[in-house]
Structure 1
């Protein structure tokens, strides 16, 4: 199984993740049948003036350490790219990383209002044969309150990645119901572990996939599980026709 972690490489992360802690995460991943991890690093947290090279070197070094420790997990390079109006320029100057050097780019939306030029910027990336993936849209209250925009983006070819804890209910009932609506309407393409913090519940992904299989069937569960494999192999991801879902107003706390 393949998963996507924001923080798995030592040093290149918030809180200066230690090598021992990174190895602990990898061991837990192996025990939970995860054999490949895309390290979607926040480049702004890199410690040198050459962050791309730093990430590549960190991946190579950590994989060598995993081999020495007989941990059967392989880490692949990637980046969680903060959204900006300069994405196209950053891509053309090769100052951002796609996932495993594929056509797929993981993008993190700002916490505030949805950028007015979002659809246009993502379209411009697609003209460069890049497939944008929006990270955890179900956690963005401003985006969720614009279901027509979500529908438009997916219809345009943008993909959506949600967190396993959004499905299991750990993030709250409101987010769980929103995520279920999105899955029902073919607006979700990936499910990954909730790994935006150093402490990770490695069973969360299994729980989420089990719930999806029980609610939506084996075919849906398998598709969502296989899509990350298609990403790392730079293969096209089959997308079902999206549907609109009812507008949800923000109630309570987003986490």
Structure 2
């Protein structure tokens, strides 16, 4: 499996604190069946600013340690970029970076609102050749209460990445129900761990895929896994058209 969202680099955000923590995460990923991890440190989220120019070398260093410890996992460079008006310029400068030198950019929204400039920024990103992937939309209060705001962004070409935990029982029921609602309406394109440590926020990709397969079959799992591979390889994703959510379907959840 491929994990597109993980805070495995040591000591630069709220993920792994030490090299040993990073190695523990790599071991846990291998045990879960993950062979490739994209390191996605926070950038511009109000607590952490991680210059994208420095990340490839940090990834190379970590891969050397992983190899020394005979862990069968490869780490690739990436970033979890907070939505800001400067994102396009930062991508051009290299202070913000996409997933593994691809066109795909992980974009994190604030936890409560959807900034008014999001539509315009996403348009500008796509004009510059980038494809925005909205990370964990099920954890955004506005998207949860008004899922058709997310639908509008997807109609305009954006993609989403939902957290694996949101398909398990490790999250609040409403978050899980929101993830299921988005999946039902073709508004989920890839899932990833967003792992920070080996205890509280770890890898649950295999469990999430099992849950999705039990409810929606192997074809849905294959679609999600293939999208992750296509992102890594910078290939085009062909998403199913998103569906609007009828009001009665989400009033009972939120």
Same fold (TM over 0.5): yes
Residue 30 of structure 1: CA displacement? 0.9
1:32-47 mapped onto 2 (5 Å cutoff): 32-44=32-44, 45=48
Residue 24 of structure 1: CA displacement? 0.8
- The SS at the match of 1:85 is coil
Contact 1:194–1:204 (CA under 8 A) maintained in structure 2: no
Answer with 163-172 or 179-188: which moved more: 163-172
* Distance in 1 of aligned mates of 2:29 and 2:52: 25
- 1:229 equivalent to 2:251? Answer no
1:109 is matched with 109
Distance change (3 Å), C-alpha of 1:58 and 1:46: farther
* Distance in 2 of aligned mates of 1:92 and 1:250: 43
Residue 63 of structure 1: CA displacement? 0.4
Residue 181 of structure 1: CA displacement? 1.1
Deviation string 1:114-166 (CA, Å, 9 cap, x unpaired) is 11111111111011110000010001011222222211111111001111111
1:164 is matched with 164
Residue 200 of structure 1: CA displacement? 5.2
Distance change (3 Å), C-alpha of 1:57 and 1:46: farther
1:52 is matched with 52
- The SS at the match of 1:220 is helix
Deviation string 1:54-112 (CA, Å, 9 cap, x unpaired) is 21111010101111111111000000001111222222333211000100000010123
Contact 1:154–1:187 (CA under 8 A) maintained in structure 2: yes
Contact 2:133–2:160 (CA under 8 A) maintained in structure 1: yes
Contact 2:138–2:144 (CA under 8 A) maintained in structure 1: yes
1:58-69 mapped onto 2 (5 Å cutoff): 58-69=58-69
Q: Which runs of 5+ in 2 are unaligned?
A: none
- 1:220 equivalent to 2:220? Answer yes
- The SS at the match of 2:100 is helix
Contact 1:194–1:200 (CA under 8 A) maintained in structure 2: no
TM-score by length of 1: 0.90
1:26 is matched with 26
Contact 1:32–1:202 (CA under 8 A) maintained in structure 2: no
* Distance in 1 of aligned mates of 2:252 and 2:40: 28
Answer with 232-241 or 164-173: which moved more: 164-173
* Distance in 1 of aligned mates of 2:118 and 2:66: 39
Q: CA RMSD in A?
A: 2.0
Residue 5 of structure 1: CA displacement? 3.6
* Distance in 2 of aligned mates of 1:46 and 1:61: 20
Distance change (3 Å), C-alpha of 1:76 and 1:239: same
* Distance in 2 of aligned mates of 1:117 and 1:166: 27
Contact 1:138–1:178 (CA under 8 A) maintained in structure 2: yes
Residue 167 of structure 1: CA displacement? 1.0
Contact 1:83–1:107 (CA under 8 A) maintained in structure 2: yes
Answer with 139-148 or 174-183: which moved more: 139-148
TM-score by length of 2: 0.91
Residue 16 of structure 1: CA displacement? 6.2
Q: Which runs of 5+ in 1 are unaligned?
A: none
